[in-house]
Structure 1
Amino acid sequence: MFNRSSLISENSSLVYEYVHPLIRLKKPAFSHNVEIEKTPNGFSAKSIPSNHSPPSVIMVILDAVSNLQAQRALPRTLDYLKSLGLYTFQSHAIVGDGTFENIVPMLFGKAAADLLVPNLNDSRYEFLATEIEIDPNTKKSKTIKKIVHYPGPFDNYSFIVKNFSRLNYTTFFSEEWRESAFYNLKNGFRQTPTDFYLRPYWLALYETLSYNKYAGNSNPKPCYLDELLHRLSLNWLKQFLEVHHKTPDHRTFGIMKINEMSHDYLERLFWIDKDLETFFQDLFQQNLLDNTILIFCGDHGHRQHQLRLTRVGSFEVKLPFYSMILPQSFKEKFPQATENLRKNQHIEEFQNANSTNTNGSLRNNFTHLFTVLFEVLPSNAIFESNILYNEPANTIKLHSDILRINLYGRTSECIKDKYQLRSFCYCMSNYRQNKNSPWTNGFNRYGISMRHIGKRRIRN
């Protein structure tokens, strides 16, 4: 909910304009005599003779922030949260390439591919696509038009928010980007998935005269009037908590995703360290996060940045930032779970305890794991992957996804429906227009050579 106010003078100049978010209680008070328990079909509530109510859950997600980047850019924020008992998971790893591939398992409990099923029954998900086919012999091209069925919507999937909504939690979901948000990039939802759904608010804000228009993400001037966009997100969340957490009568579950200040520029995250520190200080000092599980995390690290061409670049993308703070009531009620979380902060690898090795067989049980960077033409795209080399068998096996680690122009329009190819295909017309792109001759420009390709040994 929001209210858009504008004042225009007689000569049509803008005098005043602002989009005001409106927040009010939407659900009745939460019963304190309730305990949540897991069932085969999800979660349910049962009555108990107690004044203890289940905790709220608030997630603040910073797009494209690795664990290393958080340590570098947010020292003040992390120092403050650590003084309150922050758990930071040093080896939390991605399960796919990009936001969608990592958010879906966390919020839906499924692999991202399970949601990318073409919708053949709804004409709203039919799009006309144009493909260019080139004869390999004559090199002549012809245009082919076809109907493509896109996946979506996700309303009928097991979105975790639904579990909390059924238990009378007030829910919210916000992501400030317009063009590449979870909502529209993958044709997210037909019905409003949460009680407070901020997509209309952000769209209204972007259409005002006070917003610096920019065709794309990562606006060079990411401001609305004199406020950076991340402050609007944080201010909204603070207002929401002031309404719902002033008393213990309203439980909440919400996801606040911040893109603009972290996705494309490493340096922008440094700008907001003080803002985040102040934001969390205000919430805790005003007791707005009492009986609340706070999850503060990234979805993945930087995927397509010059940093990816360094030795540490692989760790940047594969080890996202992930941390949480537990309320004291949770620690007292679930001491074993709390202890497990404490230990899990530093777990780096699992080894097969049942395997047996002798000095004679140890040599043959080792496999070489190579991290390989390679450049392709004519796009000068740079990719990274891991391969396993089994020395006794003299075989090579792909051990991970092939990741694109640089930007090299516009993705080919003719394969928009082929999600598995979008990171690799490159439009030749774009290449002809941008032969002198900043990423041309990427390996030479950044001094990448075979010495940068790492190798380590792992056990089978």
Structure 2
Amino acid sequence: MIRNRVIHPSTVTSHFLVNTEVCHIPKVDPFDLSINTLIKDKNFIKCSNVTSLTFQDGQGLRLNMDVINTTYNGNFSYCEYHGINRGNNTDDNKYQYTPNGTIFKKDIVVTEQFVRVKCYDKSHSVIYSNYHAFILPQPIRLQKLNNRFSKHKEENKPRETLNVLMIGVDSVSRLNHIRNMPKTRDYLLRHLDAIELQGYNKVADNTFVNIIPMTTGRFVEELPWNEQKSGEPFDKYNFIWKNFSSSGYSTLYVEDDPGLGIFNYLKSGFHVPPADYYYRPLALAVEGDNSVWTSGHQCVGDRFETDMILNYTKDFLKLYHKLPYFGFNFLSRLTHDSISNTASADTPYSNMFRDIHNQGLLDNTVLIFFSDHGMRFGEIRQTYIGKLEERLPMMLLVFPKWFYKKYPKITQNLKINQNRFTTPFDIYETIKDILYFTGDVKGDVDVKQRGISLFEEIPVSRTCDHAGILPHWCTCMSQQELSTNDQFYNMSVNYLINYINQHFLLKNVTGKCWPLKLGRTKSVHIIKNNDKLLKFKQSLNDVINRTVSYDEKRVNSTYIFQVAVSLTPGSGEFEAAVRYDETTRNFTMAGDISRINKYGHDSDCVNGNFLRKLCFCR
């Protein structure tokens, strides 16, 4: 145990994810009592225990002979698969089956990327249906990409040619990631040395208007895409994967629920497939076949849909890990409408990351594991913490370990930026820097630059206005020192002292420690939300007009007070954040209590790091 560590007050950031002069984003407890009843349940989805008759093995489709022999008792006749493709049409909501099927009675190598399988008994009745997705080589396309890649290296001379894999999960805040995906989080942070952007703030309302800035560096209205012209496709816009494709990178684009597609919900999608491997035709085909869905439309037979799509992505990595690629995977069905369903995502994603790491598939790849926003609906959205976390989605980036060692200045900036105010525009600039990688750090970044690469240090003077974020979405709080005659000055100090005495010293170590009393108040600062964060403006469709006038109706506010005090006996110096809710007129703690001076042997009568920093032994 580090007993006498001195923490300088200016370095105490335990109460805030971002703690700069112009931006304070509070670090709230993911399991705060105010939301405890709304987050206690975890929903673990189980698929059907009826084993599939067919399964994939590389580019092969195999029959499960144990199922055939035990379930069908000699009544099995044959199976047939039909390919599924988009055909020559430009409608992103259509697909077609190949007219001629392929009959098989034993394992077979498929020649179609997506297939529907039906198996029959001896009376020619269908006894089984399923769908499979394969990553098949594209030799003609690959030759063209190789030529582009050679030209890219010759003209742009990138110092490194790193792949990019973007893995997105809809509606998962950083707090809900902590609550419901502990295995995934632990593996990313401990084993893969992930960089977590704790001050990552969304820039607009829903998925569409946050993914556009991340992949184009622009707001939707700057493309300019007109939401009133719902028939307009997205082919002409310069998404970041187009830059990679034109530079010789193979591309992957995967979403699950076709009705919730980023570019398809109330929109027309793409008239030309946006990537070399585009999952949508299979997603449409499976969606329309109710006979194969189980477990509340989360499983296809005995296979969890999330696993199916992550395995498809993994197969892409296996085929292309020694070649340049860009992959975009975004899944919505599981987590879009349910905060508790996120728990079911933990095992698939942790297994995915463990597998691709152990197989060396991340050795030359930047992994970006992200969400678009937190939960936008339901009871939790009505709470203060729910409003806050809806604006703070998870964002983690993993670079190869050799990269961290080879580029120490970039690594230093990445670590600093974990607790700076960041946005989807910064992700776009970072991905661009990966494509045209120089290895250099420019320094002296213009704070008014809307998007800033994470390879640079994000300025401490950055505000929401600099980043182009409307006040409604801004989680940065302003700070102001209170005067000694302000009513909250003494109220917040008294609450903190009572909390320490009642909840810790008296409750846990009665008789061992002296009750603490105020020696002097060093400072009290109010950290206040702008009122607009606590209001919600529904957009017409997906886009909020950036000149919209918000309803200025009075709403109840939550304030955070940062309190610094010296307590007696012992002259211990403490700093803590306490929260005041106007609705209930109650104080609660808003973070940990920090001891910011030495305590030596004052607390030898108790055990535990937290009690030792509070106790002055009798």
TM range (shorter): 0.5 to 0.7
Say whether residues 1:107 and 2:215 are aligned partners.
yes
Whether contact under 8 Å (1:67, 1:316) holds in the other structure is yes
Secondary structure at the counterpart of residue 299 of structure 1: coil
Per the alignment, residue 583 of structure 2 pairs with 450
Q: 1:343-354 maps to which residues of 2 (within 5 A)?
A: 343-348=416-421, 350-351=460-461
TM-score, normalised by the number of residues in structure 1: 0.66
Residues of 2 paired with 1:257 and 1:359: CA distance? 46
Radius of gyration: which is bigger?
Answer: 2
Per the alignment, residue 347 of structure 2 pairs with 274
Per the alignment, residue 203 of structure 2 pairs with 95
Instruction: For residue 149 of structure 1, report the CA deviation from its aligned partner.
Output: 3.3
Q: 1:386 to 1:81 in 2, by over 3 A?
A: closer
Q: 1:7-406 maps to which residues of 2 (within 5 A)?
A: 7-9=119-121, 13-26=125-138, 27-28=142-143, 44-46=152-154, 54-82=161-189, 83-115=191-223, 117-118=225-226, 149-150=229-230, 152-185=232-265, 186-212=267-293, 220-245=296-321, 248=322, 250-348=323-421, 350-351=460-461, 385-386=532-533, 402-403=536-537
**Which stretches in structure 1 are left out of the alignment for 5+ residues?**
37-43, 120-147, 214-218, 373-384, 388-400, 405-410, 425-447, 455-460
Secondary structure at the counterpart of residue 266 of structure 1: coil
Q: 1:20 to 1:310 in 2, by over 3 A?
A: same
Residues of 1 paired with 2:376 and 2:543: CA distance? 17
Whether contact under 8 Å (1:177, 1:260) holds in the other structure is yes
Secondary structure at the counterpart of residue 384 of structure 2: coil
Whether contact under 8 Å (1:104, 1:110) holds in the other structure is yes
C-alpha distance after superposition, 1:220-267 (max 9, x if no partner) = 33111111211111111111111112xx2x111011111122111111
Residues of 1 paired with 2:384 and 2:414: CA distance? 30
Whether contact under 8 Å (2:205, 2:543) holds in the other structure is no
Whether contact under 8 Å (1:242, 1:288) holds in the other structure is yes
C-alpha distance after superposition, 1:143-176 (max 9, x if no partner) = xxxxx63362121111111110011111011110
Instruction: For residue 180 of structure 1, report the CA deviation from its aligned partner.
Output: 1.6
TM-score, normalised by the number of residues in structure 2: 0.50
Per the alignment, residue 117 of structure 2 pairs with 5
Over the aligned positions, Cα root-mean-square deviation in angstroms equals 3.8
Which residue identity does 2:536 align to in structure 1? I
Which residue identity does 1:316 align to in structure 2? E
Structure 1 segments, 4+ long, off by >6 Å, are 29-36, 47-50, 357-360
Instruction: For residue 188 of structure 1, report the CA deviation from its aligned partner.
Output: 2.4
C-alpha distance after superposition, 1:61-82 (max 9, x if no partner) = 0100001111111111111121
Instruction: For residue 335 of structure 1, report the CA deviation from its aligned partner.
Output: 2.8
Which residue identity does 1:450 align to in structure 2? T
Residues of 2 paired with 1:351 and 1:47: CA distance? 36
Instruction: For residue 212 of structure 1, report the CA deviation from its aligned partner.
Output: 2.9
Residues of 1 paired with 2:221 and 2:304: CA distance? 35
Instruction: For residue 419 of structure 1, report the CA deviation from its aligned partner.
Output: 5.3
Instruction: For residue 104 of structure 1, report the CA deviation from its aligned partner.
Output: 0.1
Instruction: For residue 19 of structure 1, report the CA deviation from its aligned partner.
Output: 1.7
Q: 1:292 to 1:284 in 2, by over 3 A?
A: same
Whether contact under 8 Å (2:208, 2:263) holds in the other structure is no
Whether contact under 8 Å (1:30, 1:251) holds in the other structure is no
Secondary structure at the counterpart of residue 232 of structure 2: coil
Whether contact under 8 Å (1:34, 1:53) holds in the other structure is no
C-alpha distance after superposition, 1:324-370 (max 9, x if no partner) = 110134334433222111110012594489xxx9999xx9xx99955
Residues of 2 paired with 1:153 and 1:272: CA distance? 31
- The number of residue pairs the alignment matches comes to 343
Which residue identity does 2:117 align to in structure 1? S
Which residue identity does 1:386 align to in structure 2? L
